[in-house]
Amino acid sequence: DIQMTQSPSSLSASVGDRVTITCRASQSIRHYLNWYQRKPGKAPKLLIYSASNLEGGVPSRFSGSGSETGFTLTISSLQPEDFATYYCQQTYNTPRTFGQGTKLEIK
Partner 1 sequence: QVQLQESGPGLVKPSETLSLTCNVSGYSIRSGYYWGWIRQPPGKGLEWIGSVYHSGSIFYNPSLKSRVIISVDPSNNQFSLKLTSVTAADTALYYCARDEQGNWASDYWGRGTLVTVTS
In the complex, the residues that contact partner 1 under the rule CB under 8 A are: 32, 34, 36, 41-46, 49-50, 55, 87, 89, 91, 94-101
Concatenated DSSP letters of the chain:
---EEEE-SEEEE-TT--EEEEEEESS--TT-EEEEEE-TTS--EEEEETTTEEPTT--TTEEEEEETTEEEEEESS--GGG-SEEEEEE-SSSSPEE---EEEEE-
What's the min distance (Å) between Cβ of 33 and partner 1? 9
Q: In whole angstroms, what is the distance from residue 75 CA to residue 87 CA?
A: 14
At closest approach, how far in Å is the CB of 43 from partner 1? 4
Q: By C-beta, is 38 or 61 nearer to partner 1?
A: 38
Question: Closer CB to partner 1, residue 78 or residue 97?
Answer: 97
Name the residue nearer to partner 1 (CB basis): 19 or 36: 36
Please say which residue, 1 or 105, places its beta carbon nearer to partner 1.
Answer: 1
Task: State in angstroms the smallest separation of the CB of 99 from partner 1.
Answer: 8
